[in-house]
């Protein structure tokens, strides 16, 4: 939990300026095996304002990535994938919208940064070309594409961009590749960037550098950001507001400072505790107790604690976070 502590001190209001994205009761069902399906996302609601930086944090299987993809319209194309609920982007309802509408969103308004830069870049296409596609999709006539490519590569924190543009992904290091993914996302000058575990595949030292690049880029362009990660430190350092997810649901939300500082949902508390137990001296390693997990999985703790709305802790929850008999 090191970078940009200034972030945590920003105002508590949910939206700075107008609302860009409102997601309400989003549910995504994905097929598993040939007949079954699983609810990867189960009634998630979130809001992102213009210029906001929002984090979605949770463990693997919490549905955070699927949520991000659903918003970007990048779920698998199988007809067995089912989405319900509402995703309103700048006033337009996206659930059920025709492919053309989604295409328009993806080409100009929402950019996505993926996790593993090695597999997410086309191995047979030059870097410059891959960034170029983002720019061309903008459909902005009178733009010097070549210059723009180099501009965005620099903006993403890369050096020697002229040379780099004619290289192939395999010739770059992991950190550089991730910056290329950032460049690809920002080159379309989007209003919203969704970064799905952007540093998970990188070494610890490189992570910090790439995060800084992302931070600067997003600041410079004034883009909204949804940062998805399992790593609390990453999310805490870069976001104003945070959504904690477990098992396809949001369990707690509020400003990053508030949620991190005084978590109320048992899961969030356990999560924070397990992270701090890693770094604190003389504390045994803490992991989420099986009993808690059982409660969570059974749906006993299906409450959404919203720090901006609730004054007091949920009366159904005890001081230790256990569910009180009602």
The per-residue DSSP string of 153-211 comes to HHHTT-SSHHHHHTS-GGGS-HHHHHHHHHHHHHTT--SEEEEESTTTTS-HHHHHHHH
61 binds another protein (CB under 8 A): no
162 binds another protein (CB under 8 A): no
CA–CA distance, 175 with 185 (Å, rounded to integer): 15
Cα–Cα distances (Å) from 54 to 142, 196, 200, 239, in that order, read: 34, 12, 18, 5
H helix or E strand, kind and range, residue 101: helix 99-108
Region of 293 please: left (phi>0), alpha (psi -120 to 50) or beta.
alpha
Question: What is the closest distance, in whole angstroms, from the C-beta atom of residue 9 to another protein in the complex?
Answer: 33
If the CB atoms of residues 78 and 205 are measured against another protein, the closer one turns out to be 78
163 binds another protein (CB under 8 A): no
173 binds another protein (CB under 8 A): no
Using CB under 8 A, which of 124, 205, 279, 326 touches another protein?
A: 124
If the CB atoms of residues 169 and 266 are measured against another protein, the closer one turns out to be 169
81 binds another protein (CB under 8 A): yes
Question: What is the closest distance, in whole angstroms, from the C-beta atom of residue 146 to another protein in the complex?
Answer: 18
Using CB under 8 A, which of 44, 54, 94, 211 touches another protein?
A: 94
Question: What is the closest distance, in whole angstroms, from the C-beta atom of residue 37 to another protein in the complex?
Answer: 7
43 binds another protein (CB under 8 A): no
Take residue 152 and report the two structure tokens written for it. Answer: 């965005």
Cβ contacts of residue 42 below 8 Å, gap of 6+? Answer: 27, 63, 247, 248, 249
Cβ-count burial 273-300 (b if 16+ within 10 Å, e if not): eebeeeeeeeeeebebeeebeebbeeee
φ and ψ of 308, to 5 deg? -85, -10
Using CB under 8 A, which of 42, 47, 65, 213 touches another protein?
A: 65
If the CB atoms of residues 30 and 270 are measured against another protein, the closer one turns out to be 30
If the CB atoms of residues 103 and 277 are measured against another protein, the closer one turns out to be 103
* Residues of this chain, 12-31, that bind another protein according to CB under 8 A: 30-31
Using CB under 8 A, which of 95, 206, 221, 317 touches another protein?
A: 95
The conformation of residue 86, written as its DSSP 8-state character, comes to: E
Radius of gyration of the chain (CA): 20
For another protein, the binding residues (CB under 8 A) are 30-35, 37, 40, 65-66, 69-70, 72-84, 94-99, 102-108, 111-112, 114, 116, 119-125, 130, 133-134, 137, 168, 170-171, 181, 184-185, 188
């Amino acid at each position: 939990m090191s970078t940009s502590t200034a972030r945590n001190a920003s105002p508590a209001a949910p939206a700075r300026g107008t609302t860009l994205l409102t997601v309400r009761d989003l549910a995504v069902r994905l097929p598993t095996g040939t007949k079954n399906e699983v609810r990867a996302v189960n009634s998630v609601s979130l809001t992102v304002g213009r210029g906001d930086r929002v984090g979605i944090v949770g463990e693997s299987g919490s549905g955070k990535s699927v949520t991000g993809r659903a918003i970007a319209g990048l779920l698998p194309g199988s007809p067995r994938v089912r989405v319900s609920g509402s995703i309103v982007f700048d006033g337009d309802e996206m659930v059920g919208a025709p492919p053309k509408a989604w295409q328009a969103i993806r080409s100009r308004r929402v950019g996505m940064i993926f996790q593993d830069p090695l597999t997410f870049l086309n191995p047979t296409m030059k870097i410059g070309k891959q960034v170029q596609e983002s720019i061309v999709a903008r459909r902005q006539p009178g733009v010097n594409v070549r210059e723009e490519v180099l501009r965005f590569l620099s903006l993403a924190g890369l050096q020697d961009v002229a040379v780099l543009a004619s290289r192939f992904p395999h010739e770059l290091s992991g950190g550089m590749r991730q910056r290329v993914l950032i460049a690809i996302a920002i080159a379309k000058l989007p209003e919203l960037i969704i970064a799905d575990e952007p540093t998970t595949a990188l070494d610890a030292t490189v992570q910090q550098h790439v995060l800084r690049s992302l931070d600067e880029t997003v600041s410079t362009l004034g883009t909204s950001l949804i940062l998805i990660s399992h790593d609390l430190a990453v999310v805490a350092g870069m976001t104003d507001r945070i959504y904690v997810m477990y098992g396809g649901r949001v369990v707690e939300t509020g400003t990053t400072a508030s949620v991190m500082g005084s978590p109320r949902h048992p899961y969030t508390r356990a999560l924070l505790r397990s992270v701090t137990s890693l770094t604190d001296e003389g504390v045994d390693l803490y992991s989420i107790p099986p009993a808690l997990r059982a409660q969570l999985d059974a749906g006993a703790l299906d409450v959404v604690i919203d720090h901006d709305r609730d004054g007091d802790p949920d009366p159904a929850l005890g001081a230790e976070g256990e569910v009180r008999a009602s």
